[in-house]
Amino acid sequence: MSFWVETVLLLAAMCAGGWIFRFVGRKVTNNKPFFRDMSYGVAFGYVLGAAVLVWLIWAYMLSRSSDMMVANKYFFLGKAIEGFLIFAVAAWIFRLFGRKVGTEGSRKLFRSMPLTASFGIMIILIYAILAIFAAGIAPHGQEEVFARANIVPGGDVNLGGDPAFPLGTDQIGRDILSRLIYGAQNTVGIAFVTTCLAFFVGGSLGFLAATLGGWTDQLLSRAVDVLMAIPALIFSLLLITVASAWFTGFGLTVSMVVIIAMIDSTRVYRLARAVGINIVVMDYIEAAKLRGEGLAYLVFREILPNATAPLLAEFGLRFCFVFLTISALSFLGVGIQPPLADWGTMVKDLSSFINYAVVAPQIASAPLLAAGAIALLTVAVNFVVDWMLHKSSGLKE
Instruction: Enumerate binding residues for other proteins (CB under 8 A).
Output: 33, 36-37, 111-112, 282-284, 286-287, 289-293, 302, 305-306
Coarse DSSP helix, strand, coil percentages of the chain, rounded to the nearest 5 percent? 80, 0, 20
**Please, are residues 260 and 197 in contact by the beta-carbon 8 Å criterion?**
no
Comparison of 82 and 286: residue with beta carbon closer to other proteins: 286
Nearer to other proteins, 180 or 311 (CB): 311
Judge whether 60 and 81 are in contact, CB under 8 Å.
yes
Nearer to other proteins, 241 or 308 (CB): 308
Nearer to other proteins, 304 or 354 (CB): 304
The least distance separating other proteins from the CB of residue 262, rounded to whole angstroms, comes to: 30
CB of 299 to other proteins, least distance (A): 13
3-class secondary-structure state, position 169 = strand
Q: 3-state DSSP call for residue 247?
A: coil
Q: What is the largest CA-CA distance in the chain?
A: 79
In the complex, minimum distance from the CB of residue 302 to other proteins, in angstroms, rounded to a whole number: 6
- Identify the DSSP state of 351: G
Closer Cβ to other proteins, 247 or 284, answer by number? 284
Angle in degrees, 0-180, between the axes of helices 75-100 and 361-395, rounded to the nearest 10 = 40
Please state the closest distance from residue 271 (CB atom) to other proteins, in A. Answer: 18
Dist. CA 177–CA 139, nearest whole Å: 8
Question: From CA 202, how far away is CA 207, in angstroms rounded?
Answer: 9
N-to-C CA span, the chain? 53
Q: How far is the CB of 290 from other proteins (least distance, A)?
A: 6
Q: Distance (Å, rounded) from C-alpha 20 to C-alpha 44?
A: 10
Nearest distance from C-beta of residue 4 to other proteins, angstroms: 37
All residues at 6 or more sequence positions from 125 whose CB lies less than 8 Å from its CB, including other chains: none
Dist CA 27 CA 335 (whole Å): 63
